[in-house]
């Protein structure tokens, strides 16, 4: 494996682009002719503190990493990001399945409750109809009993009048009131 080296940017090095940045491409004589490329990395700390920070390299604003190491780091970063994406996709799928399952359970509960509600409403209508029929029947029975009662009262009254008439007739034949009542 080639020896990694860090070099500071110099004013005499070749520019990587025409934008005027401090990036440069140089050939390092100590790394057996391997290309060294400077890499800028921005973190939240850079935005907060205004300086670039790499753990272990507090001095340099630009880190230089060998292209072989950079490729390996990029591959490693890519694979870890892909693994993270895969985990997040699995977690998202689990959440979707859980939400779908909860929605299915909720719908089945709603349908069950609607069925129970329909049954209760049907029973209530049947009971109401039964109660109305019973009240109508009872009203007819009460009316019939009142008619019978009225007829009996009429009969009792007519018999009472008849008794009174017989009592007066017996008293007219010379019986006393007490004898006529017996």
> Given a cut of 60, is residue 181 above it in pLDDT?
yes
For the cut 80, the answer to whether the pLDDT of residue 42 exceeds it is no
Around Cβ 67, how many Cβ atoms within 10 Å? 15
User: At 14, phi and psi to the nearest 5?
Assistant: -75, 140
CB 25 within 8 A of CB 13: yes
**E strand or H helix that includes residue 71:** helix 67-172
- CB-hemisphere CA count at 13 Å for 143? 6
Least confident of 4-18, 26-40, 48-62: 26-40
Encoded tokens for 11: 């004013």
Q: Model pTM?
A: 0.40
**What is the token pair recorded at 171?**
């008293």
pLDDT of the residue at 36: 36
Categorize the per-residue pLDDT at 17 as very low, low, confident or very high, splitting at 50, 70 and 90.
low
Name the residue with higher pLDDT: 29 or 149. Answer: 149
76: pLDDT strictly greater than 50: yes
């Amino acid at each position: 494996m080639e020896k990694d080296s860090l070099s500071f940017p110099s004013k005499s090095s070749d520019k990587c682009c025409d934008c005027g940045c401090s990036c440069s491409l140089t050939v390092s004589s100590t790394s057996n002719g391997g290309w060294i490329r400077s890499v800028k990395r921005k973190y939240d700390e850079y935005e907060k503190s205004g300086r670039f920070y790499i753990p272990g390299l507090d001095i340099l604003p630009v880190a230089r990493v060998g292209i072989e190491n950079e490729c390996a780091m990029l591959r490693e970063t890519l694979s870890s990001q892909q693994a993270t994406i895969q985990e997040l996709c699995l977690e998202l799928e689990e959440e979707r399945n859980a939400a779908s399952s909860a929605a299915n359970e909720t719908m089945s509960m709603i349908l069950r409750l609607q069925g129970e509600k329909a049954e209760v409403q049907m029973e209530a209508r049947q009971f109401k109809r039964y109660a109305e029929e019973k009240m109508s029947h009872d009203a007819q029975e009460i009316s019939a009993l009142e008619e019978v009662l009225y007829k009996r009262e009429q009969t009792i009254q007519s018999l009472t009048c008849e008794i009174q008439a017989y009592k007066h007739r017996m008293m007219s034949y010379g019986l006393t009131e007490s004898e006529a009542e017996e």
